[in-house]
Amino acid sequence: MKNRLRVLRAERNWSQADLAERLEVSRQSVNAIETGKFDPSLPLAFKLARLFESTIEQIFSDES
């Protein structure tokens, strides 16, 4: 699944480790989600949306 996490992170000047800390997951998890290798669950997607003050659709798109 495509996502804008890298862009959103860069806008806030956050590293993957910073985002991981805010989400309470490992940096490896953030990397896997960001590179589209792992699709997060709905609760984690909502957590990301809240953190970036956007909607899930603004962060993720189902185009392959």
- Residues at the interface with another protein (CB under 8 A): 24-29, 31-33, 37-38, 40-41, 44
The nearest distance, CB 38 to another protein, in angstroms, is 5
Task: Using the minimum distance from each CB to another protein, give the nearer residue, 6 or 11.
Answer: 6
Give the count of beta carbons closer than 10 Å to the beta carbon of residue 16. Answer: 18
The nearest distance, CB 25 to another protein, in angstroms, is 5
Tokens 């956050």: give the residue. 14
Give the count of beta carbons closer than 10 Å to the beta carbon of residue 19. Answer: 23
Task: Using the minimum distance from each CB to another protein, give the nearer residue, 38 or 57.
Answer: 38
Give the count of beta carbons closer than 10 Å to the beta carbon of residue 64. Answer: 6
